[in-house]
């Protein structure tokens, strides 16, 4: 009974997390549709990504049962990292007319990548 209650709470937390990942992806899609490629908007999205990463780590620490929802959330967070990297590339292209990996001297979208660790993508 206690285990079922604990599992139910964890599943709800993971579901809320994946829903927020969907909102994050939709927010970036909206900015791309609006062609809003500004550093201010990119910084806001990076802060949102940092929040998702922190939340993921907190949830992962509590996931002693290693629920399948955790693996699905890990995959979803990887998608968010990729979406943000793509948006960053578009911002750099719009602002500087070249790729983020180009000679602009600015940090590239590759720095937004998803190194693997037990804390999840892109800790």
pLDDT range class, residue 74, cuts 50, 70, 90: very high
pLDDT digits (tens, 9 = 90+) for 11-45: 999 999 999 999 999 999 999 999 999 999 999 99
CA 29/CA 90 separation, integer angstroms: 12
Which residue carries 């939340």 as its tokens? 55
Q: Where are the domains of the chain?
A: 2-112
Contacts 24+ apart (CB under 8 A), 95-100: 95/37, 95/38, 95/39
pLDDT digits (tens, 9 = 90+) for 76-114: 999 999 999 999 999 999 999 865 555 444 444 444 444
């Amino acid at each position: 009974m206690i285990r079922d209650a604990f599992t139910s709470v964890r599943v709800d937390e993971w579901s809320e997390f994946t829903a927020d990942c969907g909102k994050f992806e939709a927010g970036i899609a909206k900015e791309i549709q609006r062609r809003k490629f500004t550093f201010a908007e990119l910084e806001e999205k990076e802060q949102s990504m940092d929040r998702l990463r922190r939340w993921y780590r907190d949830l992962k620490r509590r996931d002693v049962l290693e629920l399948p929802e955790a693996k699905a959330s890990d995959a979803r967070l990887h998608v968010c990292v990729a979406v943000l990297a793509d948006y960053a590339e578009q911002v750099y292209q719009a602002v500087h007319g070249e790729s983020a990996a180009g000679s602009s001297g600015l940090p590239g979208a590759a720095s937004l990548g998803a190194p693997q660790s037990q804390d999840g993508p892109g800790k």
